[in-house]
Amino acid sequence: MIGLVATLAVASILVFFMLQILPGDPAQLILGTGARPDTLLALRHEMGLDQPLLTRFFQWVSGLLSGNLGMSHTYHVPVATLIAERLPVSLPLAIVSLVLAVLLGIPGGLIAAMNKDTWLDRAVRIKTQLLLAIPNFWLAMLLVFIFAITFHWLPAGGFSGWSNGWNAIRSLILPAFALAAPQAAILTRVTRGALLENLEDTYMIAARARGLSQNAAIFRHALPNAMIPVVSIMGLQFSFLLAGTIIIENVFYLPGLGRLIFQAVNQRDLAVVGGASMLLIASVIIVTFLVDLAALAIDPRLRRRS
Amino acid sequence: MALLDIKGLSLTLNGRRLLDGLNLTLESGKIVGLVGASGSGKSLTARSIIGLPPKAAALSGTILLNDTSLLTLSEKKLGHIRGRDIGIVFQDSAAAFDPLMTIGDHVAEPLRWHLGLDQKAARIEARRVLDRTEFPADIDAFARYPHEISGGQRQRAMIAAALALSPKLLLADEPTTALDVTTEASILNLFLKLAREEGIGILLVSHDLPAVATLADHIALIEEGKIIEASDTKNIDAKYSPRLRALLESAMAENAVLEMKQSEVILRGRHLSFSYQKKRALDDVSFELRSGECLGIVGQSGSGKSTLARLITGLAKPLAGQLEALQSLCQVQMVFQDPAGSLNPRWTLGQSIAEPLHAEALDSAAQSQRVTLALQEVGLDPNFAERYPHQVSGGQAQRAAIARAIISKPDIVVLDEPVSALDIGVRAQILDLLDGLRQQHGIAMVFITHDLGVARRVANHLLVMKDGKVVEQGPTGRVLVEPADAYTRSLVEASPSLSHKVFAPRGSEG
Amino acid sequence: MCIAFLSLMPWMKDPTFIQVGEKLHAPSVDHWLGTDQLGRDLFGLTMRGTVASLLVAIAAVGIGAGIGVPLGLVASARENWLSQAIMRANDFIFAFPALVIAILLHDTVGAGMLNAILAIGIFNIPVFARVSFNRAQSIWTLDFIHASRLAGRHELSIAIRHALPLILGTIIIQITIQLGLGILAEAGLSYVGLGVTPPTPSWGRMLNEAQTFIGIAPRMVLVPGIAIVLAVLGFTLLGDALSEWLDPRKRRS
């Protein structure tokens, strides 16, 4: 718990450093080199840049803690409000694709491992390798081409808001699949590898020797053990999933966090970039922490040491 | 009628014949020892009986269990027999348990699977079975995971899981190899009790002939997948079973213990203490090592003997006390237990052997000459310098490790269980080699072992350790024949290779 | 066979880079795969895209392995405050996805190849540190390392002579994996405009521009995408082949 807080604190220092200090004068950056000195001065004052660095940092951190992420200078709206507007698109998208990846990925690995070296195993492995080589935003474009442009089954992009329930779900189906596909492939690969490794273990032979059938031994013993690496990979994959969400939102013109960040990057809206980046990093750190807790719950060997 | 009757059992795997027309019978209530070196096919025999040989193996011959032919049964029918009529106990109890499942649930599993008991009923029954195997009653087996209990306790639990449905046949595959001597003795006693009192037929697979000889009614010696000798244990006759007799004698060989003439002390430890992870591993240990002497350090795992070895080599520094070398330049080298792990797999034996010379800045010709010399001293052909560890046997790898230890002409060589990973025959050769090297070069040796039989063969002086303390020390002959300390006495009594009952006819109780 | 894929890509550099009025032409003898919205040859562009893609991936993996492997080795040697600090910092950097690093560095470095290289490279450091740490950690406890200490070698010499050669196989395989991932990451960054900038051809950039024309000229979407898939597959297959070749169990028999 202390580690978690410390990590978040260091992350906030780093984000502040990279956005406020490394690039030089933020006000200059926003106005460009041709700006008049008095406008520059006014903007500096407005952004609080004329105050000492340490004061600025503490203002930023105390803002983070109280949910006040500053004002966006392009929208003239609090950053927190902007993010809160966009989360109802990004969050469901990330969660749905994670669930989809688990539902598609783990059974795939199980089937491949149980039928090792048969055509089924080979088919699953080829599919896995292919999916891992495909950029998800390209897969998204292909899905748009097939399901939206050619067959008109699903919308090609845009989002009409949750008030329009069914349409909202329809517009998230393709993005969720595009995001889930490579994640599912990774889970398949890890599940298959971990299972095959466990199938060779002495405790599997011992379980068979107690009379259990091969399938019963797999479901009772090998599969729970294989979930240990699978869960830790899911934790590691979360940051890829977030990055994927940001890119995929651009393919489908979804008004989520991703679109917000890129508009902010292009308009040099540092408050928005900082607040949104901090949110992404914090969620990765917290998910890693939760995954460690999950590992503790699964594996009694970890429990005793702590 | 025999409980188990194996006739002409052969097993071929990837074109290699690993079992070759093997015959074996076992009666109810009897113990048959199947003894052989690693790779002789003894474990494969056990795996074949229970119908779980390696995947691609092709089996032929017959295995009859109470007149049921096992090799022709369907997988489903075999499933009914496994666990119900045949139980098996494996060597490595740490690997044979699912790490995510409690000990008690392992024992309950066959009860639930075969009898369809619910969890509560199965747990009550499992606790009863655990009691039968003398699993400590004060341990809540349903709350403990495999890594939380000792190896001996795990082994009892594994026997309990195998016996849950009271099978008539128990296969024990090296059940005590990973255990300490005293634990080993109590587990072996348990087997004897199960056979005599419950009438279970036990096939005891082992490489440890003296241990089997104290326990089994019959012994079969297996080599390259064939039973080459079989005998009643009571009289292993030199005429009919020459190999068994010779192996047993070499394991028991009673070398006249050398009384050393007093040479000068070269290393002295005073009041040494050491802690590891806040646990006291070594507590006020003092000793003397004389030049040309072999000091045996004996004790069970966790007694602190390996810690003492690390201090002597200088790989670790004592927390308190001093280690005084009484020569200005005292060089220490070491030989380790596992010959495979002590040689870099990517280096040739020659490169590894030459490593202690790297500080001497020799040219390559002089260096290879030294390597050749060292190889000859340990009885290896000079062309072994070009080979890689995986291309040589365990005994040859250990010879190479010894060559590396002596090439720089050290004053002291520390040997940490150097023969316990080797087969009996090879073991004797390596011990002879070490003895020869010590006498020829006057190297002082510190020999760490858990096996009193081995210690008796090589050591002039013994240091008996328990819980980080020295409980007794003195000349080997005196310590083993008239142990002054109760703990030493219990060690001596639990050592099969020291006990005298092996050759004596056994009483009616077995 | 798998290397054939790979070698085909970089060696067939075709410097066709022309802007003519012949835009959105279908495939012909002049333009094997047709032209794009500015009349540039799609085949030539895709070939040139290989350069940016490989350059970014190789440079980034070079940064990752060059810094990560020594860090992992040092941390694995002893258990002390230094190794603790290294691995903590490592896990910390891992919380920053390459994309977020690219966003944060954008204002300092500006969009372009350097931004992509730095972002992907920084992200690769903990990957290589973790892999070499895990692999080397078990090596440091082996008996031949103790023997080497007794032979009088110091830690650095042991790390270079014993540990590094033993983990090299694992590192090389990881390099092929990361090169594949690097190509994917570069494509992603260029697609959203944080990587390679317009005049330089890049697959991610091409896909971004092609998106608008997906209904009219789907081949503009297909061609660069297939190029990415082939390049990544090439590295994956290369890695698989290498790991099979380096596996001592398979090589011995």
Selected residue with higher pLDDT from A76 and B401: B401
pLDDT at B67: 85
| Average pLDDT for chain B | 86
Does the pLDDT value for residue B255 go beyond 60?
no
User: pLDDT digit string (tens) for C142-173?
Assistant: 889 988 988 888 888 898 889 888 888 888 88
Domain hosting A25: range is: 2-66
Instruction: Give Cα C245 distance to the centre of its chain.
Output: 21
| Cα distance between residue B456 and residue B480, in whole Å | 8
In this structure, which amino acid lies at residue C164?
A: L
Highest mean pLDDT among B88-92, B480-484, C98-102: B88-92
Contacts of B333 in chain C (CB under 8 A): 147, 150-151
Mark yes or no for CB contact C152/B359 under 8 Å: yes
Residue C24, domain member (yes or no): no
B218 is written with which tokens? 């019959």
Residue C34, domain member (yes or no): no
| Cα distance between residue C37 and residue C25, in whole Å | 9
Selected residue with higher pLDDT from B204 and A239: B204
Residue closest to B198 by CA, chosen among B3, B361, B385, B13: B3
Burial C148-170 (b: 16+ CB within 10 A, else e): bbbbebeeeebbebbbbebbebb
Contacts of A299 in chain B (CB under 8 A): 99-100
How distant is the Cα of C240 from the closest Cα of chain B, in angstroms? Answer: 22
A54, A105: one domain: no
Question: B99 at the A interface (CB within 8 A)?
Answer: yes
B333 is written with which tokens? 């080298």
pLDDT at C26: 58
How distant is the Cα of B212 from the closest Cα of chain A, in angstroms? Answer: 23
Burial class (CB in 10 A: 0-12, 13-18, 19+), A26: buried
Q: Which residue has the tokens 């896990």?
A: C91
Residue C156, domain member (yes or no): yes
User: pLDDT digit string (tens) for B277-291?
Assistant: 777 788 888 988 888
| Cα distance between residue B122 and residue B104, in whole Å | 10
How distant is the Cα of A52 from the closest Cα of chain C, in angstroms? Answer: 21
Residue closest to A159 by CA, chosen among A61, A86, A214, A58: A86
pLDDT at C61: 93
Question: What is the 3-state secondary structure of chain A?
Answer: CHHHHHHHHHHHHHHHHHHHHCCCCHHHHHHCCCCCHHHHHHHHHHHCCCCCHHHHHHHHHHHHHCCCCCECCCCCCEHHHHHHHHHHHHHHHHHHHHHHHHHHHHHHHHHHHHCCCCHHHHHHHHHHHHHHHCCHHHHHHHHHHHHHHHCCCCCCCCCCCCCCHHHHHHHHHHHHHHHHHHHHHHHHHHHHHHHHHHHCCHHHHHHHHCCCCHHHHHHHHHHHHHHHHHHHHHHHHHHHHHHHHHHHHHHCCCCCHHHHHHHHHHCCCHHHHHHHHHHHHHHHHHHHHHHHHHHHHHCHHHHHHC
Residue C153, domain member (yes or no): yes
**CB–CB of B281/B468 below 8 Å?**
yes
Q: Which residues contact C89 (CB under 8 A, 6 or more apart)?
A: none
| Cα distance between residue A30 and residue A9, in whole Å | 27
Which of B341, B359, B390 is the closest to C142 by Cβ?
Answer: B341
Radius of gyration (C-alpha) of chain C in whole angstroms: 22
Contacts of B158 in chain A (CB under 8 A): 206
Q: Structural domain tally of chain C?
A: 1
pLDDT at C31: 54
Radius of gyration (C-alpha) of chain B in whole angstroms: 25
Beta-carbon count within 10 A of A237 CB: 20
| Cα distance between residue B93 and residue B175, in whole Å | 8
How many residues make up chain C in this entry? Answer: 253
pLDDT band at B161 (very low <50, low <70, confident <90, very high): very high
Mutate which: C138, C142, C145, C150, vs B, most B CBs within 10 A: C150
Look at A52-56, A204-208, B188-192, C196-200 and tell me which has the smallest mean pLDDT. Answer: C196-200
Residue closest to A185 by CA, chosen among C180, C101, C6: C180
**CB–CB of A187/A105 below 8 Å?**
yes
Q: What is the mean pLDDT of residues C2-23?
A: 45
Selected residue with higher pLDDT from A283 and B109: B109
**CB–CB of C110/C171 below 8 Å?**
no
Nearest residue of chain A to residue B53 (CA atoms): A205
pLDDT at C17: 43
Radius of gyration (C-alpha) of chain A in whole angstroms: 24
Look at A241-250, B96-105, B246-255, B365-374 and tell me which has the smallest mean pLDDT. Answer: B246-255
Question: A211 at the B interface (CB within 8 A)?
Answer: yes
Q: Where are the alpha helices (DSSP H) in B378-469?
A: 394-406, 424-441, 452-458
Beta-carbon count within 10 A of A35 CB: 14
CA dihedral sign, ordered A109, A114, A120, A125: positive
Mark yes or no for CB contact A240/C97 under 8 Å: yes
Q: Structural domain tally of chain A?
A: 2
Angle at C26 between CA C22 and CA C32, to 5 degrees: 95
Which CATH number does the domain housing residue C204 bear?
1.10.3720.10
**CB–CB of A194/A116 below 8 Å?**
no
Residue C102, domain member (yes or no): yes
Mark yes or no for CB contact B82/A210 under 8 Å: yes
| Cα distance between residue B494 and residue B184, in whole Å | 8
Residue C16, domain member (yes or no): no
**CB–CB of B49/B86 below 8 Å?**
yes
A91, A228: one domain: yes
- Interface subset of C 87-126, CB within 8 angstroms of A: 91-92, 94-100, 103-108
A93, A219: one domain: yes
Beta-carbon count within 10 A of B44 CB: 24
Question: C216 at the A interface (CB within 8 A)?
Answer: no
pLDDT band at B501 (very low <50, low <70, confident <90, very high): very low
> For chain B, how many helices (H) and strands (E)?
16, 19
pLDDT at C28: 57
Does the pLDDT value for residue B224 go beyond 80?
yes
A19, A62: one domain: yes
Beta-carbon count within 10 A of C12 CB: 10
Strand order in the sheet with B58-65: B16-26, B4-13, B58-65, B68-69
Rounded to the nearest 10 degrees, the angle between the axes of helix C219-246 and helix C164-191 is 170
pLDDT band at B257 (very low <50, low <70, confident <90, very high): very low
B93 is written with which tokens? 């109890």
Residue C69, domain member (yes or no): yes
Beta-carbon count within 10 A of A295 CB: 17
Selected residue with higher pLDDT from A24 and B131: B131
Mark yes or no for CB contact A211/B47 under 8 Å: no
Residue A73, domain member (yes or no): no
Burial class (CB in 10 A: 0-12, 13-18, 19+), A31: middle
| Cα distance between residue B129 and residue B115, in whole Å | 15
pLDDT band at C33 (very low <50, low <70, confident <90, very high): low
Q: Where are the alpha helices (DSSP H) in chain C?
A: 2-11, 42-77, 81-94, 98-109, 113-140, 143-150, 155-158, 164-191, 203-210, 219-246, 248-252
Contacts of A115 in chain B (CB under 8 A): none
| Cα distance between residue C38 and residue C23, in whole Å | 5
User: pLDDT digit string (tens) for B84-107?
Assistant: 999 999 988 888 999 999 999 999
Residues of chain B with CATH 3.40.50.300: 27-51+79-251, 253-331+411-505
Burial class (CB in 10 A: 0-12, 13-18, 19+), C240: middle
Helix, strand or coil for residue B330? coil
B1 is written with which tokens? 């009628």
A210, A295: one domain: yes
| Cα distance between residue B502 and residue B497, in whole Å | 8
Residue A219, domain member (yes or no): yes
A6, A116: one domain: no
Q: According to the CATH classification, is domain B253-331+411-505 in 3.40.50.300?
A: yes
SS3 content of chain B, % helix, strand, coil (to 5): 35, 25, 40
pLDDT at B5: 92
How distant is the Cα of A7 from the closest Cα of chain B, in angstroms? Answer: 27
User: pLDDT digit string (tens) for B329-353?
Assistant: 678 899 998 887 889 988 999 999 9
How distant is the Cα of C144 from the closest Cα of chain B, in angstroms? Answer: 4
pLDDT at C16: 43
Which CATH number does the domain housing residue A115 bear?
1.10.3720.10
Question: What is the 3-state secondary structure of B35-47?
Answer: ECCCCCCHHHHHH
Residue A256, domain member (yes or no): yes
Look at A231-245, B468-482, C21-35, C75-89 and tell me which has the smallest mean pLDDT. Answer: C21-35
pLDDT at B465: 92
A184 is written with which tokens? 């599912």
Does the pLDDT value for residue C129 go beyond 50?
yes
Selected residue with higher pLDDT from B258 and B268: B268
A183, A224: one domain: yes
pLDDT at C44: 66
CATH superfamily of B27-51+79-251: P-loop containing nucleotide triphosphate hydrolases (3.40.50.300)
| Cα distance between residue B481 and residue B474, in whole Å | 11
**CB–CB of C78/C145 below 8 Å?**
no
Share of chain B above pLDDT 70, in %: 94
Residue C169, domain member (yes or no): yes
All chains having 3 or more CB pairs closer than 8 angstroms to chain C: A, B
pLDDT at B407: 92
A19, A136: one domain: no
Domain hosting C91: range is: 42-252
pLDDT band at C196 (very low <50, low <70, confident <90, very high): confident
| Cα distance between residue A253 and residue A155, in whole Å | 11
Selected residue with higher pLDDT from C249 and B205: B205
Using 50 as the pLDDT threshold, list the residues of chain A that sit under it: 305-306
Residue closest to B403 by CA, chosen among B380, B421, B387: B380
